[in-house]
A and B are shown apart, each in its own frame.
Chain A
């Protein structure tokens, strides 16, 4: 293996060598030097550039560089990825030894804060920047996969379908009815797209604004937090273009293989179900109860061989994952550019689960004059999904239901519609369209012009115009041999959707330091956004000749067309002033006023203020004696955000139309009525919160980190409020209620060992969030106590996700029936439910919904943590990333109900193997098959989903040294794995992380093992 790779590489290198040497040879007028890190290890590939010129060099394998034509008083800039850049003024001396410091030093960073950047010392809110480099060796298909676990408080879920983007939230659940998804800001503008439109390779930096004050610059959109994504800017290598090629390929398998019953198990289960439902049959007589086709196949061989040894194998596949990206970039004094192309292809573990993504990016920035800079950031993205995935969630085409004795094909080789006779189970192959597509295109351009007002130092004006075009195309044709097309002689449809978003931001900034101590940073914003969308669907059915599919919908007898359109407008104004004294104290005040067309008539505008302070304690004279302390700062902030989740037109009164006929008319009469009551007073949900933070760094930055504690309350939750029927309407969305969230987040980075060539560094992140419903609709029943909304699972004083139901205390057995301790309505093999005693300690001997339901816990997790270790020895490094969500105290529960799904009591359909009760398997985990159909009180057993997952592991070999001199600046090979294993002590089923149990809706999770290559020319 190694040899082959080496050979391939040599080939590539030979080609690359044809180019001329990349840095200039020594010159008697030049300077030279060595670049090392703090431990004295030479840094290879660092860029040494004379500022304002193209004159540059790259350090060699010994960290040495040579530069010619350098003038005295010129400045040289030494930079390297992962290190803090340094500038040195050229003096008379000729040799410069430079020590670059690693970029782990938290407190010296400049961070993105929305509409600008700020020195970390001045940041007053909870702002976290993701450490992308650590994880970039593990290829990921979208940014959220890459960010998982890197920032405490940014909670990222699991995706188990090809092309899936995991769900993500920041700091707990703030809303019940409205969205909990954070706002995404890409290159300074509101992102209108899908997270997978953004290629991770193009991303320079991701910053998360977690608290109310930091997010307040985005006003009415920010109550779920903000994720700021910045794409790469141009950078070159020694004044020459930097060409970077990354490619990875790997296999995808089921994390936990899904098992369905084989022939023996299928017959046993059929027998169990027959017996359980009153048809008492001996096991050897069971084949007589097989369906026609099953019986035929059963009798076909003397030893009753199954037609399908493992029926689920029909749909199981080994997937793959492929990522390739190529970028070219350069930076000169007047101009920098970054261009890239990316391709991702993924095949999941179930048939027809496919995904492709193509994207292209161009980022340009040009300094036209001293005072004017123009820029363009643009990308095009195309996503290609399958139309019909075979995750037959609860449908009549479930891939798990195939019988081991089924017939897949008809005599003519086509797929049989009813493979095992029963007409309530269609072959999943019949669910797939003859031809289909589901494409999403996203084209985005961001144009910026920045004017440095020449006569006022520190004053700039930036105009940013961005335009996003989203286009989608969705077509399908279901022919005669499909479930959808068969009864109506084929069915086709074609939809196009288009949306345009344009944003125009005017930004005025003034940043100046007065008297060397007083820094004033003022930002003024005026922003307008316009969005409009249109969609059109044409469909047709009844095709005499279905050959042309959706390309000739007019061939169908019945044709329909529908169109729709909508639009919004938004206006935002924001002012932010930060005053920093001596880099020691910082005070920020922000005020944003937002107007949005979808807001109701009387609430078109909202105001969102915030304030924050930061105190860099370590700069105080009284701290000077604490030599181990490198940095210590405390932050405090308070602010308000909104949730702009009101849908366009949802507050307007609407007309609906129907048709009626008067006898004697040849044609219908269109009717109309007011179907929706307008609401002029619906406002947005608002979140107000306080955040306290501590940033520290000790022992020469060997240990650094931050701790944040927060408390927020979300008011004016959008609720569906019931209206008296006398008004003629049944409900309206109104503002009511309050949710409280509080939590703590810790990020910690340590360098545990640093000795010679060996280094061991760790990153730990921990977050904990608690929430509580503080108010709901008030006291409507007049008992003086705030009402719970039991049907929605909302209880005053309890967390969202509270579980209120019967408690399963065990399983009833035959002896319970025999000795009469079984409750009425229960049978052996049913879950035993707790008969809750009343206030006198008496039980009433029966289960009733009003008396016996109880609070069992909460589906929210107790805390999340992740732990990343990076071991480096010379050119070898190993990254191990462990991610965990953990319950405890009755938290993070989920149901796992194979006994309640659509097929639990169906002997004519297969099922995922699970442990059910029978008279001879009395210690089973789950109840008897007939439980679903017969039990009058069905308890749900809840399982703790706590898990620790080996999320990512990557072994990386930096081969740069081996290829030095072939024109290659960096060569990296990596072997990595995603989702290697999970420890979930309480969970039964496929994956605790996704909550997949053994039911008909469970989907196997994916495990990827990949080989990656990374070359910089």
Chain B
């Protein structure tokens, strides 16, 4: 018996000592992990770049067809109606009258903003961990400051769109199911605190490449936050810090690459003629950035289809272009056929390649331009900037070169006419689009390719309008009028007087100056004007006489979020 035990024990020992239990730690081979990624300045900058990428692709380049992207910019409110180039009926993308917690638009933006916040939190937390090695405290502060700015950028949308939301300020490392809502005031205060830090450490605009947010962007955003916090002097001061920084100023003359652009006109006949004005120059390739001589620029997204990372990842002809503004927002005039059934070509180089998913509203087409009789005076409404007449472009057509009218084309219904000949804001397209290719039918190199341009997230003109709003709210309408006139003057529009100044004027001026640039949804919700503008300017509301719903003051918290948050109750906004 002894022998049995002895032998067994010897064998067991032999076997048991042959390995260690911690051998089971997994070491990844073909992917990076957070542990070896947030360790030095270059890697933290990579992490910041990803937030910029998320912002670019989330706001401007989302191809999800059901959403048509660009939905923070005023579509389906007062600036653009939803058109549809195949069905006779128009449809809404985010249907306000049936707005509920299951709405896809609401769910999408909720998680988008929190994804930016999570990315910023990872940077902020990990910058202080021992694994992060910094050459200097200043390096670290600049990175953390920029991350805090981006976090505030996300939270300010959330505070305006939902009111109070859960304030998540640290990286989530383990699943968490007990989020609770902070108040709207707390969210704004957090934004202010973050921006105050950011302003201390972020580099100024003259130190940065285009596409990256400078200190001025933090001031600009702080100005808006202070308005929301009713700290109007604070808002004025923050805006002034940009306006008077000695670097930024409004562009008052033609400038940059396309200052001397000439064009043979929409008809393709006749000699070329000068084709630009100051406002036109602001939206041309190569002109968007401070580095490129644009003193008005504060913060842009960045695109360049010839360089990897510049949004060129989707070049196959079958795929949609990634800059959604060009694609969704504008008429489909190249589908016009004349009375003899001859179809137009896509030849007009200033056309882009829109497909009429979004059409300019009557508000943006005419109401705002009639103010003070400036329709033909305001350069923002010039033929260089908004095209209202369309011509036959196919030489085979009997009407070649002639204007398209309701009577000489095949647009039998008003909807068809709108889809094909609605006014087109030229700021969305480029003078010469990228990747033009041969039209399959005409065999001419005229198909208008794609538009990839940098695009303003913040522009000095808006800083003026923020300050004007703060002055107005501080009952200093004279200063407010001065700020508004700074912009109107550049546009050759009739100046306003102190007595003209009210919130409606500011919103209209924003529509004139910042059409497709400002985050219209945010602005209207922030100023409490969303419902009014829906009722006044949205075709669906007007046509269907839809009643005011006080719930729309805020968006609903997504149902998915409430259901997934099993450890605590996320209170739904009232009315949903």
Asked if A and B bind, the verdict is yes
Q: B-contacting residues of A (Cβ < 8 Å)?
A: 453, 455-456, 459, 461, 506, 508, 510, 524, 526, 528, 563-567, 569-571, 595-599, 604-605, 648-649, 652-655, 657-674, 677-680, 721-730, 732, 734, 778, 780-781
- Which residue of the partner chain, among A456, A666, A669, A678, contacts B49 with CB atoms under 8 Å? A669
> B26 contacts A665, CB within 8 Å?
no
How far, in Å, is A81 (CB) from chain B's closest CB? 37
Cross-chain contact A571 with B32 (CB below 8 angstroms): no
Closest to A722 in B: B564
B46 touches A669 (CB 8 A): yes
**B14-62 interface with A by 8 A CB criterion:** 14-16, 18-19, 21, 23-34, 37, 43, 45-47, 49-54, 56
Subset of 22 A-B contacts with CB under 8 Å: A524-B12, A524-B15, A566-B29, A597-B23, A648-B26, A649-B28, A653-B34, A654-B31, A655-B31, A659-B309, A659-B313, A661-B308, A662-B212, A662-B302, A663-B291, A668-B310, A673-B119, A722-B560, A724-B176, A725-B110, A725-B111, A725-B114
Q: In the bound complex, do residue A671 and residue B46 qualify as a contact, i.e. CB atoms below 8 Å apart? A: yes
Given contacts A571-B21, A597-B26, A725-B110, contact A662 B172 (CB under 8 A): no
Tell me the minimal C-beta distance from A558 to chain B in angstroms. Answer: 11
Residues of the A chain whose Cβ atoms lie less than 8 Å from the Cβ of B564? 722-725, 780
In the bound complex, CA of A526 to CA of B15 (Å): 7
A780/B29 in contact, CB under 8 A:
no
Instruction: Tell me the complex Cα distance, A58–B401, Å.
Output: 104
Q: Does B328 contact A (CB under 8 A)?
A: no
A595-B175 in contact (CB<8A): no
* Contact A666 B307, beta carbon cutoff 8 Å: yes
B63 lies within 8 A of chain A by Cβ:
no
Tell me which residues across on chain B come within 8 A of A723, comparing CB atoms: 175-177, 564
Which listed residue, B27, B34, B46, B302, touches A670 by the CB 8 Å rule?
A: B46
Specify which of B29, B43, B115, B563 is in contact with A781 (CB 8 Å cutoff).
B563
CB within 8 A of A510: which of B8, B288, B313?
Answer: B8
How far apart sit A669 and B49, CA to CA, in the bound complex (Å)? 7
A684 to B107, CA, bound (A): 32
B197: chain A residues within 8 A (beta carbon): none
Q: Mark B208-236, 1 if CB is under 8 A from A, else 0.
A: 01111000000000000000000000000
| Max chain A Cβ within 10 angstroms of own Cβ: one of B111, B165, B309 | B309
Scoring B18, B28, B560 by chain A CB atoms within 10 A of each residue's CB, the highest score goes to B28
Residues of B within 8 A of A674 (CB): 34, 118-119, 122, 171
In the bound complex, what is the Cα–Cα distance between A655 and B107 (angstroms)?
24
Chain A residue nearest in CB terms to B289: A663
* A671/B50 contact (C-beta < 8 A), A571-B24, A661-B307, A663-B289 known: yes
B561 touches A665 (CB 8 A): no
A834–B570 CA distance with the chains assembled, in angstroms: 39
Q: Are B11 and A724 in contact (CB under 8 A)?
A: no
Given A661-B310, A729-B172: 17 more A-B contacts, CB < 8 Å: A453-B7, A459-B8, A567-B27, A567-B29, A571-B23, A598-B26, A660-B53, A663-B454, A668-B307, A674-B34, A677-B173, A721-B175, A723-B564, A725-B558, A725-B560, A727-B179, A728-B121
Q: Which residues of B contact A730 (CB under 8 A)?
A: 111
CB distance from A672 to the nearest CB of B (A): 4
Q: CB-CB < 8 A to B15: which residues of A?
A: 506, 508, 524, 526
0/1 string, B257-301, CB within 8 A of A gives 1: 000000000000000000000000000000011011000000010
Task: Give, as a whole number of angstroms, the nearest-CB distance from B531 to chain A.
Answer: 26
Q: Determine the chain A residues whose CB is within 8 A of the CB of B313 once the complex forms.
A: 659
CB of B174 closer than 8 Å to a CB of A: yes
> Complex Cα distance A54/B303, Å?
85
Q: Give B69 Cβ to nearest chain A Cβ, in Å.
A: 18
Residue B245 at the chain A interface, CB threshold 8 Å: no
Measured as residues with beta carbon below 8 angstroms from the partner, the interface class of chain B is 35 or more
- Which of A597, A726, A727 is packed against the most chain B CB atoms within 10 Å? A726
Docked Cα-Cα span, A663 to B29, in Å, equals 34
8 A Cβ contacts from B298-327 to A: 300, 302-304, 307-311, 313
Closest-by-CB residue of A relative to B3 is A456
Shortest B410–chain A CB gap in Å is: 21
Known contacts A649-B26, A722-B560, A781-B563, A672 near B46 by CB under 8 Å:
yes
Assuming A598-B26, A729-B172, is B114 touching A528 (CB within 8 A)?
A: no
Taking the closest CB of chain B, its distance from the CB of A612, in whole angstroms, is 23
Task: Point out the residue from A456, A526, A597, A655 that lies within 8 Å of B33, measured CB to CB.
Answer: A655
Would you call B309 and A660 a contact (CB within 8 A)? yes
Chain A residues positioned under 8 Å from B4 (CB to CB)? 456, 459, 510
- The reply to whether the CB of B498 lies closer than 8 angstroms to some CB of chain A is no
Residues of B within 8 A of A508 (CB): 8, 11-12, 15
A942 to B168, CA, bound (A): 49
Digitize B471-503: 1 where CB-to-A-CB distance is under 8 Å, 0 elsewhere.
000000000000000000000000000000000
Q: Which of B110-136 contact A (CB under 8 A)?
A: 110-111, 114-115, 117-119, 121-122
**A238 to B52 Cα, complex, angstroms:** 81
In the docked arrangement, what's the CA distance between A46 and B313, Å? 73
Given contacts A726-B166, A780-B563, contact A672 B114 (CB under 8 A): no
- What A residues does B560 contact at CB under 8 A? 722, 725
A247 to chain B, nearest CB (A): 46
Q: Is B566 an interface residue (CB 8 A)?
A: yes
In the assembled complex, the CB of B256 is this many whole angstroms from the nearest CB of chain A, namely 13
Let me know if B172 and A727 touch, CB within 8 A: yes
Q: Are B302 and A660 in contact (CB under 8 A)?
A: yes
A727-B168 contact given A661-B302, A673-B50, CB 8 Å threshold: yes
Give chain B residues whose Cβ lies under 8 Å from the Cβ of A599.
24
Complex contact A724–B7 (CB within 8 A): no
**Chain A residues whose C-beta falls within 8 Å of the C-beta of B172 in the assembled complex:** 677, 727-729
Q: Is the CB of B11 within 8 A of A461?
A: yes
Give every chain A residue within 8 A of B110 (Cβ-Cβ).
725
Query: Is B572 an interface residue, CB under 8 A from the partner?
Result: no
A672-B37, A674-B34 given; A780·B288 CB < 8 A = no
Q: How far is the CB of B153 from chain A (nearest CB, A)?
A: 15
Q: Complex Cα distance A503/B52, Å?
A: 48
Asked if A459 and B50 make an inter-chain contact with CB atoms under 8 angstroms apart, the answer reads no
Q: A567 — which chain B residues lie within 8 A by C-beta?
A: 27, 29
Question: B179 and A663: CB pair below 8 A?
Answer: no
Taken together as a complex, chains A and B put the C-alpha atoms of A599 and B24 apart, in Å, by: 9
Residue B196 CB within 8 A of the other chain: no
Within the complex, what minimum Cβ distance (angstroms) separates B27 from chain A? 8
Q: B30 — which chain A residues lie within 8 A by C-beta?
A: 563-566
Q: B325-341: contact bitstring with A at CB < 8 Å (1 yes, 0 no)?
A: 00000000000000000
B24 touches A569 (CB 8 A): yes
Query: Smallest distance from the beta carbon of A806 to chain B beta carbons, Å?
Result: 22
> Contact: A664 with B210, CB < 8 Å?
yes
Whether a CB of chain A sits under 8 angstroms from the CB of B565 is: yes
Nearest CB in chain A: distance from B144 CB, A: 17
With A and B bound together, what is the CA distance between A571 and B33 in angstroms? 25
CB neighbours (8 Å) of B111 from chain A are: 725, 730
> Which B residues lie within 8 Å of A654 (CB)?
28, 31-33
Instruction: Give the chain B neighbours of A657 by CB distance below 8 A.
Output: 32, 46
Contacting residues, chain B, for A653 (C-beta < 8 A) = 33-34, 173
Give the residues in chain A near B308, CB-CB below 8 Å: 659, 661, 667-668
Interchain CA distance A653-B31 in the complex, whole Å: 10
List chain B residues, Cβ under 8 A from A453: 7
In this complex, which of A524, A672, A679 has the most chain B Cβ atoms within 10 angstroms of its Cβ?
A: A672
- Report the nearest A residue to B108, measured CB to CB: A725
In whole angstroms, how far apart are the Cα atoms of A526 and B13 in the complex?
Answer: 11
- Determine the residue in chain B with the shortest Cβ distance to A721: B175
> Which of chain A's residues has its CB closest to B165's CB?
A726
Q: How far is the CA of A524 from the CA of B289 in the complex (A)?
A: 73
Given A459-B4, A666-B307, A670-B46, A724-B177 contact (CB < 8 Å):
yes
Q: For A671, give its contact among B34, B49, B311, B566 (CB under 8 Å).
A: B49
4 nearest A-B residue pairs (beta carbon): A728-B118, A663-B210, A668-B309, A659-B309
Is A595 a contact partner of B53 (Cβ separation < 8 A)?
no
Which residue of chain A is the closest to B21 with respect to CB atoms? Answer: A595
